[in-house]
């Protein structure tokens, strides 16, 4: 049954309790409780291949059936229509659609239209174009505005997908491996931008990342997932330890605390294959 949507709250925390989901009778995420995600925070979801990270993100985005509770402030999201869900939560998938005959700017405007609020002042063509151009500028791809999507490199396409997600100004932004196709410069640029926008907008950002060093540097909180279950949560210092890396990834690693509070993670070797959680 589709639940009735309340007005969208700003400054609402996201609380996930007993979330379970899977595919046609095959459970993947088995009733997980996640730490509270507060407005303005950036969190990283880590774990080996096939741990269930994308499945969990898709369930949070309302893109596949789930049971349990996903509450944004007073609003329960499970059972909400996809349209109401999408006004609050935006999901950027790992793989991007191909063969779309649009320019970069048109595609960002299309994403914006899809999240129309019904506010006539906000939804005018001029206001929309201004927002689309502003986000392309912040992502660093304004020079690609009139380029066709089909003519872009993989990394450029990933930046466009990010712009499409950011322009919607969701309360909760879910990014599935948003830097996997990017060079070092753009990886840092994207992480900084997501961090800045989370703080500016009071947005909750949750990202799937495979780069532990980047996750440690830019995240307020970490969730480590293996085989559909939570293995560790907390600040990067609490969650990323030699012990959790051995359990989750089956690697022998050293984790050193640097003077400025950051972590240095050095992976020395793989442990026996059967030690990995995947």
| Contact set with ligand ATP (CB under 6 A) | 23, 28, 47, 49-55
- Judged by CB, which is closer to ligand ATP: 109, or 232? 232
- Judged by CB, which is closer to ligand ATP: 28, or 111? 28
- Rounded Cα distance, 52 and 50, in Å: 5
Q: What is the smallest separation between the CB atom of 277 and ligand ATP, expressed in angstroms?
A: 11
Q: What is the smallest separation between the CB atom of 1 and ligand ATP, expressed in angstroms?
A: 24
Q: What is the smallest separation between the CB atom of 235 and ligand ATP, expressed in angstroms?
A: 22
- Judged by CB, which is closer to ligand ATP: 60, or 205? 60
- Judged by CB, which is closer to ligand ATP: 30, or 237? 30
Q: What is the smallest separation between the CB atom of 49 and ligand ATP, expressed in angstroms?
A: 3
Q: What is the smallest separation between the CB atom of 180 and ligand ATP, expressed in angstroms?
A: 9
Q: 64 exposed, middle or buried (CB, 10 Å; 0-12, 13-18, 19+)? A: middle
Q: Which helix (H) or strand (E) holds 107?
A: helix 104-114
| Nearest CA-CA partner of 239 in 252, 229, 225 | 225
- Judged by CB, which is closer to ligand ATP: 28, or 212? 28
- Rounded Cα distance, 165 and 155, in Å: 16
- Rounded Cα distance, 65 and 26, in Å: 12
| Nearest CA-CA partner of 28 in 61, 63, 48, 53 | 53
């Amino acid at each position: 049954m589709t639940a009735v949507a309340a007005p969208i709250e700003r400054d609402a925390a996201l609380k996930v309790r007993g979330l379970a989901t899977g595919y046609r009778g095959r459970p993947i995420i088995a009733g997980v409780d996640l730490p509270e995600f507060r407005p303005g925070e950036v969190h990283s979801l880590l774990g080996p291949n096939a741990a269930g990270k994308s499945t969990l993100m898709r369930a949070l985005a309302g893109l596949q059936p789930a049971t349990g509770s996903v509450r944004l402030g007073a609003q329960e999201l499970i059972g909400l229509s996809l349209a109401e869900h999408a006004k609050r939560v935006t999901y950027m998938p790992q793989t991007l659609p191909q063969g779309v005959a649009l320019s970069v700017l048109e595609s960002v405007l299309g994403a914006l239209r899809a999240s129309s609020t019904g506010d006539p002042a906000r939804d005018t063509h001029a206001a929309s174009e201004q927002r689309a151009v502003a986000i392309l500028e912040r992502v660093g791809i304004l020079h690609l505005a009139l380029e066709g999507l089909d003519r872009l490199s993989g990394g450029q396409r990933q930046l466009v997908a990010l712009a499409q997600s950011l322009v919607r100004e969701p309360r909760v932004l879910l990014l599935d491996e948003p830097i996997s196709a990017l060079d070092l410069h753009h990886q840092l640029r994207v992480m900084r931008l997501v961090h800045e926008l989370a703080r500016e907008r009071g947005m909750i950002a949750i990202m799937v990342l495979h780069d532990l060093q980047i996750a440690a540097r830019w995240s307020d909180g970490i969730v480590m997932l293996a085989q559909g279950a939570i293995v560790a949560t907390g600040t990067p210092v609490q969650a990323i330890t030699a012990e959790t890396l051995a359990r989750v990834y089956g690697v022998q690693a050293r984790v050193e605390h640097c003077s400025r509070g950051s972590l240095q993670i050095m992976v020395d070797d793989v442990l026996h294959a059967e030690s990995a959680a995947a």
